[in-house]
Amino acid sequence: MLKTGGHIDYSTPVISVRGVSKSFGDLHVLRGVDMDLFKGENLVVLGRSGTGKSVLIKLISGLLEPDIGSIEVLGEQVDELDDKALRQLRLKIGFSFQNSALYDSMTVRENLEFPLVRNKRNLSRAAINREVEDVLDAVGLLHTINQMPSELSGGQRKRIGIARTLILRPEIMLYDEPTAGLDPITCIEINGLINEVQEKYKTSSIIITHDLACAKSVGDRIVMLLEGRFEREGSFDEIFDTDDGRVKPFYDYNFIK
Amino acid sequence: MSATENKRSVIVGLFVLVGIIILVAGILVLGGQQNRFSKTVTVTTVFPDVSGLKAGNNVWFSGVKIGTIKDIRFRSLKEIEIAMVIEESSRQYIRKDAVAKIGSESFIGNKLIVIEGGSGDVPPVEDGDVLRAATGGGLDAMMATLQTNNENLVEVTKNFGELSARLVRGEGTVGALLSDSTLALHMKQLVSNLNRTTANTAKAAEALTQLTAKLNQEGTLINDLLTDTITYAHLQSAVAQLQGVTQTASALMTNLNETAGKLDEKDNAVGVLLNDPAAADDIRQTLENLKESTKKLDENMEALQHNFLFRGFFRKRDREAAKAAAEQ
Amino acid sequence: MPLLAQLPMMKKIQRTLIELANIHRFVMRFFREVFMPPYEIKEIIRQCYVVGWKSLPLISLTGFITGVVFTNQSRPSLAEFGATSWLPALISIAIIRALAPLVTALIASGKVGSQIGAELGSMKVTEQIDAMEVSGTNPFKFLVVSRVLATTISIPILSFYTAAVGLFGAFLSVNQHEDTSFRVYFDQVFEAVTYLDVFSLVLKAVVFGFTIGIVGCYQGYHSSKGTEGVGRAANWAVVMSMFLVFIEEILIVQIIQAMRA
């Protein structure tokens, strides 16, 4: 399944990362990263585990602060915003966590309501219910509405997690390892969902993964993070048209060559 | 807001409400106990020594709690001013000439102020009045009892002295009687009891003196008692002895008085012996007869021993006696 | 050489100091955020339900047992002095001044402290706290402030219950052995305590409640990655809060003693 990538506006970057470095103690995770995400685009960030892929999207969402460099999201400098402005900006960014991060103590309905109730306080009960059922239907899990997260499968949790971010109608989606720990069939479903979201909700997305099947099916453009820097950039085929010993094993393993 | 949330809010509200009711009820009851919320008047009194009385201790009138001590402070050397808060409702019964004393709730209880006396024709106390202070309290009262006891003992001894003098004057007859009759035994017991009683009284008095010294020294009574078990043991035995002494002494008194009284009357054996020689002769005769009877009984027994029917029994008894003697 | 031997030691000291700084920052952040709107009233009520109401049966039972056992254990000592009539006064002072807040706090640090530590720890580990943050909710306010407030409110109220139930348990014992009527018992209980005793009960319970909440939240909020981190957070929440409760007990008793004089 290959992407068409119809509505991408390459003249309008929604996220611009410039010269960002981040280290934890002696561990230099990012060493001067430059990156743009354009409107309507699905950008895949490939890399080995522990190379700081997740750190990048945490920097973008303001969960972490860069040591040096600047991050501009929707025209605003993330590290210069005060708490209130940052909160406003975050409402436009959907974050799908690796482990779904559903609130264990709440039902599916309460999980979905949570961002809505707390950020749009003037919504009526009926409007909230309508919104919840709407996004739940979009991920195909309306029947789980009264279940607890612990009763769901990994794939279902992932979808609910995505639904929870969609409920605020974000302009940007950040997916952290969306297919990690899922069976191949579920992976295909999730990939399909990512593409559906892109089309239906007109989002620009960054997808962090080391799953090439996922990268291939959702990515309009792919960047490869190697040793803290973006080394390669382009379409799926462009990326792997190389003999680089750091890149080839990815391809070989995923497509069993 | 969902139904479960509503229910939870109600439960939490109930939980908090009942908790606060417990606290408020506690505070109100405490307030009632300490008269914080009822109308009161404040009167003072001055003592040279408050023997460990503390602010918060009770004030009693005729054994009824009518208030608490608000403040204790030095006014000058040997003058300690005590401010008491007294319930307005009890005020009318406390007259201006009433006397304040330091007492204690029980032998080892808290100290308190006891208000006593007061005459009907004197007006009730008013706010700011100073009550007259009287020294003496529970322990002093006890020492006074001991004193009375001693006086009683002196009286008993005096009576006994008179009695013995009369016995001496009664000469041979009574002398003989004393040597082998129950009355003599009784008399002997009386004397030894009297000795013991006197000794006990002395011991009790000593223990009490020690205790009072200790009590006067420092701190509150209960504090000392909880930390000093020796004092407590003394105290306990002192109380027991004192009680014993009082009882024995009063029993002795009665006995001696009765005996002394009866000695003067004719309708009892000793009185008869003392006062009527003829009757004495009769009694002597009776005793003689009794002796005779005993002798006769002995002879009968001897005769029995030789009867063939009883021979086996007596022999057996003799053998056993012999065996017992041999073992020894 | 001796310098090298001290190196691990130095690292340990450094770690402890950093930990202290973090705790300080955490507590300061609590006081900053507790007064700033929005107020998470609904969540505070929910936490009061969890902390207070859900702990009530356990804490009542413990309080009752404490009252009965303490009375039965004190009886022989007082009987030696023939002063069993002082039992109610002794019990009421012991329960109101010391046992009620202490027993409540210890049970609560076991039950509530570990619960908060484990709950926040697992939320941290599974990125639920991050998820909350990126969805526009201040997780510190929603999770930490509400829980600390809930324990600070609930523990004092629980300790009132403990005191009441404990005194009732003691009454049953005294009533059975000494034939003391409720009226007499009640009078003696309240005769023995003062406002300062009640104040010390409230003060201790508030401080203990705050401690249990803040320690549980701190341990959970700063728990390390992995399931092991969750376990450690729960464990440390209990150990540290119990330890601190005793330290605070000593200090508050000193302060109250000074006020009594």
Q: Do B8 and C161 make contact, defined as CB atoms within 8 angstroms?
A: no
pLDDT per residue as tens, chain C (261 positions): 455 556 777 788 888 888 889 999 999 999 999 998 888 888 899 999 999 999 999 999 999 999 999 999 999 888 887 778 888 989 999 999 999 999 999 999 999 999 999 999 999 988 899 999 888 888 999 999 999 999 999 999 999 999 999 999 999 999 888 888 888 888 888 888 888 999 999 999 999 999 999 999 999 999 887 778 899 999 999 999 999 999 999 999 999 988 887
pLDDT in tens, A221-231: 888 888 778 87
Which residues on C lie below 8 Å from A88 (Cβ)?
136
> What end-to-end distance do the CA atoms of chain C give, in Å?
55
Q: What is the DSSP letter of A210?
A: S
- Across the interface, of C82, C158, C198, the residue whose CB is closest to B30 is C198
Question: How many CB contacts within 8 angstroms connect chain B with chain C?
Answer: 66
Interface of C with A in 125-144 (CB under 8 A): 126-128, 130-138
In a domain, C34, yes or no: no
Q: Do B33 and C157 make contact, defined as CB atoms within 8 angstroms?
A: no
How many whole angstroms from its chain centre is CA B98? 28
In a domain, A79, yes or no: yes
Residue B169: per-residue pLDDT: 57
How many whole angstroms from its chain centre is CA C49? 16
In a domain, C6, yes or no: no
Strand A93-96 and strand A172-176: the pairing is parallel
Which residues on C lie below 8 Å from B237 (Cβ)?
none
pLDDT in tens, B45-92: 888 888 778 777 888 888 888 888 888 888 888 888 888 888 888 888
Tell me the two tokens of residue A110: 């309460």
In a domain, C35, yes or no: no
Chains within contact range of chain C (3+ C-beta pairs < 8 Å): A, B
Q: Do C131 and A90 make contact, defined as CB atoms within 8 angstroms?
A: no
How many domains are there within chain A?
1
Report the candidate in A227, A256, A228, A251 with the shortest Cα–Cα distance to residue A239.
A251
pLDDT in tens, B122-131: 888 888 888 8
Q: Do B29 and C48 make contact, defined as CB atoms within 8 angstroms?
A: no
Which residues on C lie below 8 Å from B30 (Cβ)?
190, 193-195, 198
pLDDT in tens, A47-104: 877 777 888 888 888 888 888 888 988 888 888 888 888 888 888 898 988 888 899 8
Tell me the two tokens of residue B312: 């086996």
Which chain C residue has its CA at the smallest distance from B229's CA?
Answer: C81
Token pair 């004057």 in the structure block, residue = B169
Report the candidate in C105, C150, C147 with the shortest Cα–Cα distance to residue C123.
C147
Which residues on B lie below 8 Å from C195 (Cβ)?
27, 30, 34
CATH at residue A177 = 3.40.50.300
State the pLDDT confidence band at B301, using cuts at 50, 70 and 90. low
B101 versus A251: the higher-pLDDT residue is B101
Which residues on A lie below 8 Å from C40 (Cβ)?
none
Q: Do C53 and B16 make contact, defined as CB atoms within 8 angstroms?
A: no
Residue of A54, A87, A92, A122 to mutate for C, most C C-beta atoms under 10 A: A87
Predicted confidence (pLDDT) at residue A192 exceeds the cutoff of 50: yes
Which residues on C lie below 8 Å from A98 (Cβ)?
127
With an 8 Å Cβ cutoff, the interface of chain B facing chain C consists of: 1, 5, 8-9, 11-12, 15-16, 18-20, 22-23, 26-27, 29-30, 32-34, 56, 108, 225-226, 232, 236
Residue B172: per-residue pLDDT: 46
Q: What is the DSSP letter of A74?
A: T
Predicted confidence (pLDDT) at residue A175 exceeds the cutoff of 50: yes
Which residues on A lie below 8 Å from C137 (Cβ)?
114-115, 118-119
- Across the interface, of C158, C164, C195, the residue whose CB is closest to B30 is C195
Which residues on C lie below 8 Å from B108 (Cβ)?
81, 83
Tell me how far apart the alpha carbons of residues C227 and A56 are, in angstroms, rounded to a whole number: 25
What are the two backbone dihedrals, phi and then psi, of residue A23, each rounded to the nearest 5 degrees? Answer: -135, 150
The letter for the amino acid at C244 is L
In a domain, A195, yes or no: yes
Task: Tell me which residue range forms the domain holding A183.
Answer: 9-101+171-254
Which chain B residue has its CA at the smallest distance from C162's CA?
Answer: B19
Helices C195-221 and B3-33: crossing angle in degrees, nearest 10, is: 150
- Across the interface, of C122, C134, C137, the residue whose CB is closest to A95 is C134
CA distance C125 to chain A (A): 9
In a domain, A152, yes or no: no
Q: What is the DSSP letter of A96?
A: E
Task: Tell me which residue range forms the domain holding C129.
Answer: 42-260
Which residues on C lie below 8 Å from A105 (Cβ)?
119
Residue of A78, A104, A158 to mutate for C, most C C-beta atoms under 10 A: A104
Tell me how far apart the alpha carbons of residues B38 and B235 are, in angstroms, rounded to a whole number: 40
pLDDT (average), residues A133-161? 88
In a domain, A60, yes or no: yes
pLDDT in tens, A33-60: 888 888 888 899 888 777 778 888 888 8
Which residues on A lie below 8 Å from C133 (Cβ)?
63, 90
Which range, of A113-122, B2-11, B143-152, B274-283, averages the lowest pLDDT? B274-283
For chain B, list the strands marked E by DSSP.
Answer: 40-47, 58-61, 64-76, 79-87, 99-104, 111-116, 130-134
A218 versus C81: the higher-pLDDT residue is A218
Sign, CA torsion A147/A149/A150/A153: positive
How many domains are there within chain C?
1
Mean of the per-residue pLDDT values of chain B: 69
In a domain, A24, yes or no: yes
In a domain, C11, yes or no: no
The secondary structure of chain B, three-state, reads: CCHHHHHHHHHHHHHHHHHHHHHHHHHHHHHHHCCCCCCEEEEEEEECCCCCCCCCCEEEECCEEEEEEEEEEEEECCEEEEEEEEEHHHHCCCECCCEEEEEECCCCCCEEEEEECCCCCCCECCCCCEEEEECCCHHHHHHHHHHHHHHHHHHHHHHHHHHHHHHHHCHHHHHHHHHHCHHHHHHHHHHHHHHHHHHHHHHHHHHHHHHHHHHHHCCCHHHHHHHCHHHHHHHHHHHHHHHHHHHHHHHHHHHHHHHHHHHHCCCCHHHHHHHCHHHHHHHHHHHHHHHHHHHHHHHHHHHHHHCHHHHHHHHHHHHHHHHHHHHC
Q: For residue A174, give the 3-state DSSP assignment.
A: strand
Chains within contact range of chain A (3+ C-beta pairs < 8 Å): C
Which chain A residue has its CA at the smallest distance from C42's CA?
Answer: A118
**Helices and strands counted in chain B (H then E):** 10, 7
In a domain, C88, yes or no: yes
With an 8 Å Cβ cutoff, the interface of chain A facing chain C consists of: 58, 61-63, 83, 87-88, 90-91, 93, 95, 97-99, 101-105, 114-115, 118-119, 161, 164-165, 168
In a domain, C29, yes or no: no
Tell me how far apart the alpha carbons of residues B59 and B47 are, in angstroms, rounded to a whole number: 15
